[in-house]
Amino acid sequence: MKTINKMIAAGIATVFAVLSVEGQITVKTKEMKSATTREFEIVNQLGTQSAVVNMPVTKLLNAPGNEALRDFFFTPVKDKSALKGKKIAVIVADGFEEIELTGPVWYFKELGAQVDIVAPKYNPAPERYGLVYPEMSKTHVMAIQYLQPVGWIKFDRTADQIKVSDYDAVFIPGGAWNPDNLRYDKDVIKFIQDFNKTGKLIAAICHAPVVLASADILKGRKLTGYWNIQVDLKNAGGNVVEQSVVTDANIITSRHPIDVADFSRAVESWLVKK
């Protein structure tokens, strides 16, 4: 009988123990749900609504007033050997304006030039920045249209791998983010400075002239650029004018994607004369 009573007592104790644990789990779960809900609400306030915007190149080419730009791309190139033997380096990082790279590159290749896409050496930010890099960012750079990411392009070499003697010209596309990434890269800035000393062509469009400002090669030079950066170009010692394209000695600058045709022809003209 005593044994039975002990077994019953033990069973009751076990039940209470289980109930106690279950109660603790329930309370803990409620606390966790409450904490998760709070965190979720805060994260929602810190983030913004996702959006995907489609801005195809055709929209730019078919926009009223851009007839000349459209003709530039759709009129067959007459002399496909005009730039034969010329080597051009496109210095570019993530956030480049798509048409400002793809447009001139297409044209220079149509004229027979060899074009290399050159990017800064892969250098991801520290983990505490909370950034995530896709695997392809080790071999590609990201294109944008205005401020909307739209695609990727593979680069051929990195800035630490190239020499001034490798190229006849350097070309930097714009985009709001691309020049900001480039102007911080020591390899890029040194290359631009060394390239400038040789008198070889340096061409920059839209926001890209700020890279030349960071390289400190604009003092006394006549140039142009995207409207938002013109004050920066003046502060760097440049003489800023409002034209679609400006050539001053070995530096060619331009303002905007709508000026891609004028910009590309100016680069062609400079290289042909040289």
User: Residues with catalytic annotation?
Assistant: 206-207
Give the number of other Cβ atoms within 10 Å of residue 180's Cβ: 16
What sign does the dihedral 193-197-198-202 (CA atoms) show? Answer: positive
**How far is the C-alpha of 240 from the C-alpha of 221, rounded, in Å?**
8
**How far is the C-alpha of 137 from the C-alpha of 119, rounded, in Å?**
11
Closest CA to 253 of 204, 207, 219: 204
Contacting residues for 263 by C-beta, under 8 A, at least 6 apart? 104, 203, 205, 244, 245, 252, 254
**How far is the C-alpha of 220 from the C-alpha of 76, rounded, in Å?**
38
Asked if 202 and 97 touch (Cβ cutoff 8 Å), the reply is no
**How far is the C-alpha of 208 from the C-alpha of 177, rounded, in Å?**
10
Cα–Cα distances (Å) from 246 to 31, 63, 131, 206, 243, in that order, read 65, 24, 38, 12, 7
